[in-house]
Amino acid sequence: MYSYALLEKGCYYLIQEKEEGPVGLIKVNMETDHCMYISKYADTTLIEWRKKTDPIFDILELLEEDKVRAWESIYNDNQGTYNYEEDEE
């Protein structure tokens, strides 16, 4: 069992918070003495505070910069498909 305290600011990680839970991508945005301010990426981005002592079942991977750029390209393209407005006519 791991905790958020092991994660580094500015890095992207693939983690599994619970043993049978889904794999998720997070980024550590900021760190205080007791907490981490993180972004969780799914269909939308969720930004939240987590205690450094909050458990993480598994830290699967620290993403390298080239992987982050590739993911950002795909993620940003997909965000446009959800943000469309129909004509009001």
* Domain count for the chain: 1
In DSSP terms, 56 is beta-bridged to: 2
User: Is residue 43 over pLDDT 70?
Assistant: yes
Does some domain include residue 64? yes
Does some domain include residue 37? yes
How far is it, in rounded angstroms, from Cα 48 to Cα 87?
A: 35
Amino acid at 13: Y
Does some domain include residue 58? yes
Report the pLDDT value the prediction gives residue 76, as an integer from 0 to 100. 80
Report the pLDDT value the prediction gives residue 86, as an integer from 0 to 100. 52
Q: What is the pLDDT of residues 52-89, one digit of tens each?
A: 999 999 999 999 999 999 998 888 877 665 555 555 54
Q: What is the pLDDT of residues 4-24, one digit of tens each?
A: 999 999 999 999 999 999 999
Does some domain include residue 71? yes
Amino acid at 27: K
Does some domain include residue 78? yes
Identify the domain containing residue 6 by its residue range. Answer: 2-82
Does some domain include residue 69? yes
Does some domain include residue 20? yes
Report the pLDDT value the prediction gives residue 77, as an integer from 0 to 100. 77
Does some domain include residue 52? yes
Q: Tokens in use for 45?
A: 């981005």
